[in-house]
Chain A
Amino acid sequence: MMYRSLFPRDWLAELDRLQRDVQNSFQFSPSIRGIARGGFPAMNVGGTPQSVEIFAFAPGIDPATLDVQIEKGVLTVAGERQRQHAGPEATLHIDERFEGRFRRVVTLPDDIDPNAVDAKYRDGVLRISIGRKQSAQPRRITVQ
């Protein structure tokens, strides 16, 4: 579980974690690829008739180290987030931020065009925009 606090005195973060755990355990139809919620990076997925929009909330990562792949209709976002180095004399009071390697997988709809992909990283959010195939666009058929 991400964002688990090691420090019990930070009760608000504990409450937050508890809420997340309860939410996860009550998710009756988890995705075939594991728990859909609570991973890093958090993801929002949406779509328009022309494109599929995926937002991955992955702050503090060098965009060059992000690995984004589309294979057989599955989008994979992988990378690593390094720990902020603390001196040997330092005390860690709250430790909630994610660190280490991550990988998240999203199943894409059938009508996407794997060649029309655009990925941007801004303000710590990776936005992947995938176009839908022209043949899948809604068309008006004129009646002769």
Chain B
Amino acid sequence: MSDNTAARKPTANDETALLPPVDVIEDASGITLYADLPGVPKDKLHLHVEADTLTIEGDIDLEMPEGTVASHVEVSLPRYRRVFTLSKELDSSKVSAEFSQGVLKLGIPKAEHAQPRKVEVKVL
């Protein structure tokens, strides 16, 4: 699995977006990805898995009173986007996702054939 945000082909809604920080942890059963997407409500989070490409996109929706004038801005864009290329041994059809308090947790299991196996040595 590799980060591929820049190499992506341009699409219609290819506007500039923030790069959300992620943690990627791999164990025997698969890969777990955590992404920080603060300010994104559940209905504005978009996850796409197409062939071997995983796209995480989210729109920030903040309740701001009318006529707010910004005086200090660190989160300057209303959108997050990050693209990863999945490797062959991952089963992209079984991706599970949890999203709570701005943290996305993705579970990408390894395909059956790629699960680690212990090879038994027969003593003759």
Residue positions of A touching B, CB distance < 8 A: 3, 10, 12-13, 16, 36-38, 41-51, 53, 55, 57-61, 84, 86-87, 89-98, 121, 123-125, 127, 129
B75 within 8 A of A: yes
B62 within 8 A of A: yes
* A42 CA to B100 CA, complexed, in Å: 18
Q: Is the CB of A36 within 8 A of B64?
A: no
Known contacts A53-B64, A53-B68; decide if A60 and B26 are in contact (CB<8 Å). no
When distances are taken between beta carbons in the complex, the residues of chain A under 8 Å from B103 are: 59-60, 124
Q: Is the CB of B74 within 8 A of A37?
A: yes
When distances are taken between beta carbons in the complex, the residues of chain A under 8 Å from B73 are: 44-45
B70 within 8 A of A: yes
Contact of A93 among B26, B36, B68, B101 (CB under 8 A): B26
Contact of A45 among B6, B40, B66, B72 (CB under 8 A): B72
Q: Is the CB of A97 within 8 A of B38?
A: no
How would residues 29 to 71 of chain B score, 1 for a CB under 8 Å from any chain A CB and 0 otherwise?
Answer: 0011010111111000000000000000000011111111111
Known contacts A51-B65, A124-B102, A125-B39; decide if A91 and B72 are in contact (CB<8 Å). no
B22 within 8 A of A: yes
Residue positions of B touching A, CB distance < 8 A: 1, 3, 5-6, 19, 21-28, 31-32, 34, 36-41, 61-75, 100-103, 105
Q: Is the CB of A92 within 8 A of B3?
A: no
A120 and chain B: residue at smallest CB distance = B63
Contact of B101 among A43, A60, A87, A127 (CB under 8 A): A60
When distances are taken between beta carbons in the complex, the residues of chain B under 8 Å from A46 are: 64, 68-71
A94 and chain B: residue at smallest CB distance = B24
* A59 CA to B37 CA, complexed, in Å: 7
Q: Is the CB of A84 within 8 A of B34?
A: yes
Contact of B21 among A58, A84, A87, A96 (CB under 8 A): A96
When distances are taken between beta carbons in the complex, the residues of chain A under 8 Å from B1 are: 93
A109 and chain B: residue at smallest CB distance = B71
Q: Is the CB of B36 within 8 A of A97?
A: yes
When distances are taken between beta carbons in the complex, the residues of chain B under 8 Å from A61 are: 101
